[in-house]
Structure 1
Amino acid sequence: MATIIEFSLPTEEFALEETLDTLPEAHIEIERVVADNPDQITPYVWVRTDDFDAFEAALEDDPTVEEVVTFSDTGEERSYQMTWTGSIDFIVQVLTEYSGTITHADGSADGWDLRVVFPDRESLSRANEAAQQAGFQFDIKTIYGTEDPRGVQHGLTETQRNTLVAAFEAGYFTVPREVSLSNLAEQRNTSHQALSEQLRRATGNLVESTLITYSDGSDE
């Protein structure tokens, strides 16, 4: 049975400590993570901040950031592909050696909140033992299996899940619709464009995790 751990940790134990110290109002949400190199990870992130120019300038001086590519800009949010190295060494070890997968992460000046899935309880136990030996500082919130109703939300981040649930409860998906995207955006205290982006990302992740089957290239 796959096992999920949710925990928090300070920025100095993970990534972007200097950037978040420079812009404490910034909020970062990891959408997905690629970890195919033992020395670095490549997260795809959404960022909210009052000053994107200052944020990007801070990234240039952040020792945990090796490369940054801007993907899109909704006005309120920007998406980036980043390459992280340095202080994320232990997280890389978790992902590569213990088959852990980050399914959700939120970062701010107050620290990071992560959800990581392991293939079984034994993998999590070995990862936790390695963390203790390395003096890795983190605060465990909860540990549970995939049969727990709080388990992995079909590839969705917490924000994406909340957005879809709010849209469903408001009647956005009914035929005919009971609420427009503009009205829903007002209810969510966000812009029409930002909400549209959130719904598209959430729907895409939901389809990918529930309907798309990846194969080895064969026709079956």
Structure 2
Amino acid sequence: MTRSFIAEMTISHADLPLTPTIRTVDGVEIAVESEPLTYPDQSGSILFYSVTNCDFRAFDSALETDHTVDEWEVTMDFQDHRVYQIYHTQEAKFTTPEIADLGLQVLSSWTVGRGWELRLHAPDRERLGDYWKFCREENIQFELEKLYSTGPQANAASGGHAEVSLTERQREVARTATRMGYYEPEGASAAEVADELDISPSTLSTHLRRIMAKVFRQLFDD
């Protein structure tokens, strides 16, 4: 049996679909019910979402001011949840085209905290690494939660508990960035973390790239 991988990750960016609404309506739970469909005459996308655990009046109000939403309608209304059909604007940032281009498959996607959690299937490790690089280039915050291998000697590894050989300076940078909430949507900026470490933002960026490269080599290499 050919070995492949399933990765669970959290991504966040102010322009990801429904992010303003997610950050406005406390506790809302949203799951994507469909793959994006393209407008016949526009470049926006249409998705169906299942929405639970919220005041729907507050949710509807948040949609009206969400810059990633063009139009919306409720297609199913149950006692405890609704299904929305949402027409997204051109400002909405999707990573699904890149996922498809890399040959990855979205198994599921849902909201977690103030971002989106994705479960992806990948035929090899390199394509997951390429998706991480894409997110980094697009300034999309990316956190790998779990990585599962399928096939012979299948295993599961937690992104947060992988044993990675970092230098003392890299550990200091990683600890400081984590402590200041750099990886959180509302945490410290790169400039603030760099100032705390008394280094330039470009030096911080170099450190973080090397740290993440080591993490991904540890997770994706045999």
TM-score by length of 2: 0.55
Equivalences for residues 61-210 of structure 1 within 5 A:
61-86=65-90, 88-147=92-151, 148=154
What SS class does the counterpart of residue 116 from structure 2 fall into?
strand
What number of residue pairs does the alignment pair up?
A: 150
Q: CA deviation at 1:86?
A: 4.9
Is contact 1:25–1:108 with CA below 8 Å preserved after alignment? no
**Residue 28 of structure 1 aligns with which residue?**
30
Q: 1:97-125 CA deviation, whole Å, 9 max, x = no partner?
A: 22333222221553222112234434323
Which of 22, 28, 49 does residue 45 from structure 1 map onto?
49
SS of equivalent to 1:33: coil
Structure 2 residue runs of 5 or longer lacking an equivalent are 157-222
Change (3 A) 1:109 1:40: farther
Once superposed, what is the RMSD of the aligned Cα atoms? 3.0
Q: CA distance change for structure 1 residues 149 and 122 in 2, over 3 Å: closer, same or farther?
A: closer
Return closer, same or farther for 1:110/1:132 CA change in 2, 3 Å cut-off. Answer: closer
Name the CA shift for 1:24/1:115 in 2 (closer, same or farther; >3 Å). Answer: same
Match of 1:10 in 2: 12
Unaligned runs of 5+ in 1: 151-220
Give the counterpart letter for 1:115 in structure 2. Answer: R
TM-score by structure 1 length?
Answer: 0.56
Whether the aligned pair in 1 keeps the contact of 2:136 and 2:142 (CA below 8 Å) is no
Letter aligned with residue 71 of structure 1: T
Provide the C-alpha distance between the structure 2 equivalents of 1:3 and 1:41, rounded to a whole number of angstroms. 28
The structural deviation recorded for 1:52 is: 1.2
| C-alpha distance in structure 1 between counterparts of 2:121 and 2:43, whole Å | 20
- SS of corresponding position for 1:139: strand
- Are 1:25 and 1:49, in contact at CA under 8 Å, matched by a contact in 2? yes
Report the 3-state secondary structure (helix = DSSP H, G, I; strand = E; otherwise coil) of the residue aligned with 1:89: coil
**Corresponding residue number in structure 2 for 1:210:** none
**Cα distance change on mapping 1:100 and 1:17 into 2, 3 Å:** same
